Amino acid sequence: MSKVIEISANAQTIAQRLGITKYDIYGATTDSTSVQVDKGEPKQVKASNRASVTVRVWNDQGRLGVTSTTDVDERGLELALKTASEASAFGATENIPDFSPEATAPLPDVDVALADPAPVGTLIEQLVKAEQALLNAHDAIAAVPYNGIAQSAVEHFYVNSAGAQRSEERTSASVYLYTKTEQEGRKPRSGHAVRIGVGSDNLDIDGCLQEATDKTLSHLDYKKIESGKYRVVFSPEAFLSLVSAFGNLYNAQSVLDKRSLSTAESLTTAVASPLLSVYDDALHPGNISPETFDGEGTPTRRLPIIEKGVLTNFLHSAGTAKRMGAQPTGHASIGAKVSVGSNFLHITQGDAAAASYALETADNVILIDDLQALHAGVNALQGSFSLPFDGWLVNKGDRTSIESATVAGDFRQLLQSIIYVSPDEKVTSSGVAPHVWVDDLSITGE
């Protein structure tokens, strides 16, 4: 906190000297290290120390100027404040962002564990062992072309001329393993897994290794699939990625820009099966890097987005909340413009299902493990998607890898077609979700 107090004091002194009465500053500094290996040797080692600071100044007419800097010493702050002040003369005259009314509200109390960074040599040694174990797992595994262990420490802060002072520090680490097979007369197959942790010392590398191995071997005996309508089960990772791809459904800025599947009148309407509930929860215990405030200093919280199928809240910044008569929700990022985005999604059960389902007893269902080409296969404004995927055809627990196929449909119809949300929630790097069962999705095979 001493650093943010110093920044706040320096900014106040400089602003008085420059005749600036209203400003705010949001910034983050990041120390990161990452390693990759190839056939037992280091392939790439990166270390960086980065700073990113956004300074906003309001002039006497209320117009806003914005600038960015990587320097938060007195000289850097003075130049940034002066530049933003000069830019305010050319700022917008409508829908001008303002301080969040909650920028000085108490922050949630969160227990946070921090970890010391591990030496680069230790990271390389851990990754070399994991790579070798994968290569030894089966003769068909020829390489682990994509792999890595990364660790980072991030400190971010927010101050403004109304007295807000916020700062917090977080550490995180991750390991990623992606295999490639080679078999004569067979197409290359792959499997991947990711694990996250507070630090590299508590990364579940063995679990990541086992998952990558199991997935790879399960894809060796693949078969074509007939095109048609299928009951589909989305893995936690797959369903989270799909919900995120259509995030305009619950994004207030998208609604105001008329680039959303929702309108302002969509709140309190049923947009999904009552079996589904979706929350955004930056403070979830499974989030290893919980953020207690957003880019405007608004405290974060557990926000219901969809409760038992009903659209309950939009994600808001201070500006969108003011325009829509709501409260800021802690989802703002500031830059040249203020943007809105989710923090850490939690997808869970809504109403109890009339019947339960299990892969061990299901007949002819598609289990989608990973959705691909989300950047190209999703039309977020129309709600449609057509996405290649990795997965299996499952019959009473027996899994047969699908050679190549695409799942297509309308996202809004998909939400209404959910027949079961399982209780087996899994923590991932982007959120928490269970397996989600959907009826009558179009699968196109080769």
Write out pLDDT tens, residues 180-220.
Answer: 999 999 999 999 999 999 999 999 999 999 999 999 999 99
Q: Is the pLDDT of residue 324 over 80?
A: yes
pTM of this structure: 0.96
Are 177 and 192 contacting, i.e. CB atoms less than 8 angstroms apart? Answer: yes
Give 187-194's long-range contacts (Cβ < 8 A, gap of 24+). Answer: 187/222, 187/403, 189/140, 189/216, 189/219, 189/220, 189/222, 189/401, 190/216, 190/219, 190/390, 191/215, 191/216, 191/217, 191/218, 191/219, 192/146, 192/370, 194/428, 194/429
Q: Cα separation of 372 and 374, whole Å?
A: 6
Q: Is the pLDDT of residue 1 over 70?
A: no
Strand order, beta sheet including 431-433? 310-311, 302-307, 276-281, 345-349, 431-433, 426-427
Contacts of 19 (CB under 8 A, 6+ apart): none
Residues of the chain with CATH 3.30.2290.10: 120-220
Residue with tokens 């007893």: 361
- Cα Rg of the chain, angstroms: 24
pLDDT band at residue 31 using 50, 70 and 90 as cut-offs: very high
What's the CATH superfamily of 120-220?
A: PmbA/TldD superfamily (3.30.2290.10)
pLDDT, average across residues 418-437: 96
pLDDT, average across residues 51-73: 94
Are 198 and 171 contacting, i.e. CB atoms less than 8 angstroms apart? Answer: yes
Q: Cα separation of 405 and 382, whole Å?
A: 22
pLDDT at position 4, please?
A: 87
Six-digit token string for 284: 């979830």
pLDDT digit string (tens) for 71-110? Answer: 888 999 999 999 999 999 999 999 999 999 999 999 999 9
pLDDT at position 20, please?
A: 97
Task: Say what percent of the chain tops pLDDT 70.
Answer: 100
